[in-house]
């Protein structure tokens, strides 16, 4: 199978993209900001539509668009997390509307559109492999240096600020990092499904292990295994790659449910990580 350079590139590309998103998956899940990645994916689609219309570089245009709008959304919502969802959803809808309008000017769009919407491993190019490798390095650097700041910001931004964590820096950089990861991952799973790849590995890992570094390792393992499985299923069954990857990741999640019961039983703890009936502290 790997005699074909196209397939080899696709395989390496999807594995690299899996590693990069899985590294961010745990903090994204912990922060409950998966809707941000959804919005960034739709903004990426606007960039793709614009690039296709004017025959510009798709990745470059998407990257500029998504970084600009991620900073704008972060600025508009940084002091009001309850408004964050509403404002983000407005940008999501508007960017999708703009994408459709832009695409309506382009008669050739049907050729590429399905691939960008639902992902296609075969879209991967050697340049994408380099971009994914750089992104893994960037994610690893960011998480290893700023892990504690991100952790305390996720726990409670106000308390983190009181004790000297630069919460604005953490917020803006984390949002930009999510945005950049979305742009690079879009080719493997598509605009519609990228959020699933962003949250499912982390969510599954956090159901199995409590400590964040361990969860990041489990998340990466799950993501890599799912990507490899999805790649082979796609090749042998001639199925759409993005949806297959999401379904495999979801299968892992379903498998984690009974496994969590087993893990907690073996640990001798109650099933809930919090006290029974505990609610969000107000």
Partner 1 sequence: MIQIENLTYQRGSRVILDNINLKIEKGEFVSLIGPNGAGKSTLMKIVLGLLNGYKGTVLIDGIDHRLWVKRHNFGYVPQKESFDPLFPATVSDAVKLGLMKRRLFPPRDAKKRTAAALEFVDLCGFENRFIGELSGGEFQRVLLARAVAADSDYFFLDEPEANVDKQGVSRLYSILTRLKEEGKTVVNISHDLQTAVSASDTIVCLNKTLHSHTKPELLSAEIVRRTFGNAVRLLEKDHV
Write out the residues near partner 1 by the rule CB under 8 A. Answer: 30, 32, 145-146, 148-149, 151-152, 154-156, 158-165, 206, 210-212, 215, 272-275, 278-282
| Six token digits for residue 239 | 């199925």
d(CA 253, CA 235): 23
What CA–CA distance (Å, rounded) separates 266 from 2? 42
The nearest distance, CB 257 to partner 1, in angstroms, is: 15
For partner 1, give the closer residue by CB, 66 or 150.
150
Q: Helices 126-155 and 212-237 meet at what angle, rounded to 10? A: 150
- Tell me whether residue 57 or residue 80 sits nearer to partner 1 (CB atom): 80
Minimum CB separation from partner 1 for residue 275, in Å? 6
Distance of closest approach, residue 141 Cβ to partner 1, in angstroms = 12
Report the residue number, 5 or 277, with the smaller CB distance to partner 1: 277
Report d(CA 204, CA 256) in Å as an integer.
6
Q: Nearer to partner 1 by C-beta: 110 or 278?
A: 278
Shortest CB 143 distance to partner 1, Å: 12
How many residues in total does the chain contain?
282
Instruction: Report whether 191 contacts 169 (CB < 8 A).
Output: no
Find all residues with CB under 8 Å of 158, minimum gap 6, and list them: none
Q: How far is the CB of 176 from partner 1 (least distance, A)?
A: 19
Token pair recorded at residue 128: 């994408």
Nearer to partner 1, 237 or 275 (CB): 275
Rounded to whole angstroms, the Cα distance separating 29 from 157 reads 16
- Largest distance between two CA atoms of the chain: 62
């Amino acid at each position: 199978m790997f005699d074909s350079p196209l397939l080899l590139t696709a395989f390496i590309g999807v594995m690299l993209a899996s590693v990069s998103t899985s590294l961010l998956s745990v903090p994204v899940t912990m922060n409950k900001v998966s809707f941000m990645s959804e919005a960034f994916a739709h903004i990426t689609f606007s960039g793709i539509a614009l690039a296709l219309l004017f025959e510009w570089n798709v990745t470059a245009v998407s990257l500029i668009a998504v970084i600009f709008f991620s900073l704008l959304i972060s600025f508009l919502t940084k002091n009001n997390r309850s408004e964050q969802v509403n404002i983000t959803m407005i940008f999501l809808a508007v960017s999708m509307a703009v994408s459709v309008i832009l695409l309506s000017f382009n008669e050739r769009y049907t050729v590429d559109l399905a691939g960008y919407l639902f992902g296609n491993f075969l879209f991967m190019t050697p340049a994408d492999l380099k971009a994914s490798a750089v992104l893994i390095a960037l994610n690893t650097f960011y998480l290893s240096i700023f892990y504690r700041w991100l952790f305390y910001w996720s726990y409670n931004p106000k308390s983190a600020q009181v004790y000297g964590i630069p919460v604005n820096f953490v917020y803006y950089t984390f949002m930009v990092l999510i945005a950049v990861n979305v742009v690079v991952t879009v080719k493997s799973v598509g605009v519609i499904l990228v959020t699933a790849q962003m949250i499912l590995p982390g969510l599954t890992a956090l159901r199995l292990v409590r400590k964040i570094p361990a969860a990041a390792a489990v998340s990466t393992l799950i993501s890599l295994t799912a990507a490899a499985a999805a790649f082979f299923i796609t090749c042998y069954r001639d199925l759409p790659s993005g949806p297959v990857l999401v379904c495999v990741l979801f299968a892992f999640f379903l498998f984690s449910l009974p496994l969590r019961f087993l893990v907690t039983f073996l640990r001798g703890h109650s099933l809930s990580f919090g006290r029974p009936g505990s609610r969000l502290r107000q």
